Structure 1
Amino acid sequence: MTAMKHGALSILPLALGAAVYGFAFGLLAAQVGFPWWGVGLMSGFVHAGSSQIVAVERFATTGTVLGAVLAGAALNLRYIGIIASLSDMLDGLSLRAKLLAIHITGDENWALTMAERAKSPDVGAAFLLGSGFVMIFVWTASTTAGALVGAVLPDLERFGLGFAFTAAFIAMARGLWRGHPQVLPWALAAGATVAAVSLGMPKAYGIIVGALIGLAVCAFLRRWKAAVA
């Protein structure tokens, strides 16, 4: 219980930041026709901010549910790697507890848990669960509140609220930065994403292309360093 409480308290600064862009997401989702209860259910059951944002964007652009679902699912492919990184941490839990932990794991509490675990190997599933419960509650509450407000307000895009998403991802990326060795894979991943989108590829798939390029470069550099050593 102490470890879970530690996780819940440690995630609060990130949760407050997530609440800001969660509220902005709820506002904009309501503006394109999503009911407040639909936004709340999506946040609780999907619980993946970036994929929700992309799905809503695709729905607003194309008007098709299938396109929105595929775009969100494509962006969520990164969770395959995230879940794989948690295998040791979740070892020994029941299947129900593992599924719960996986569901409430998002970018923020995963990054925080891995950072704390790097400092202290004792940090484990309890910390992940504590931080995850806070994040899913804050995200669901803030997006629902945003949708309630957005349903009764005029067009908000002109106020630049969409930039809240970009700012949030920049802040998350800064938290994951580990120094100069990451310059090359990050630069190539960004370049590949920009190139893919510039050639007409949907943004969600462009992000996947960039992620795969970045992972390939990281794998190559790791093998190269091992061979040199």
Structure 2
Amino acid sequence: MNRKEMYEDVSSLLLLVPFFAPAIYALYLWAVGGFSYYLPEQVFLGVTRNPDLFLLGTLAIILSTVMEVSSEERARRSERVLLLSKRLQKLAAASLVLAIITAWYANGFSPDLSRTGADLFTGRYTIVFPALLVLLSFLIVTPINLRSLAQAKTVAIILLLAVPVVINEVGKRNTLLGLGGSLILTILAAVMLSWQSDKPSGLSPAR
């Protein structure tokens, strides 16, 4: 297995993290509280309001995208980024649809969808995560320069590590501010991984 194939395999596995990690944690919470015919509402909210799961899923998506772009030949990198952008949008749609179905299931598939809608917004990350994926799909459209990526990586990591701190500390006082702050930090981290791609590397080929 060459490096490109290995990167693609790892990247594919990382894409499953935002879906499998919450599912495993939900099963754990469900088992602790006792299994029932319908998913308990507190289990749904316990998963969808968990900042660690949100950060884990976001990091997995970003890392997967960076790995796939960096493993592609430079001549085909722009084409690859466009495909990845479309894939992120499909993942966003799948994530939102899955969240809606799960919230409805947690409410016993009740024809009264008001509580289902309330749980979706109370869970907050059910809305924020798909929205973040859509934003990322537009942020990565420009080709990524690996040299710029290496220079910005440290700052991006710091920003991403600050996300759960903002959620926990600011969110305790104001949920909206905590959520908005974490979203801004995540977007900035993604920008740090792509915005310098339009800048010259500083080294021009000899003529």
Q: TM-score, normalised by structure 2?
A: 0.35
Q: TM-score, normalised by structure 1?
A: 0.33
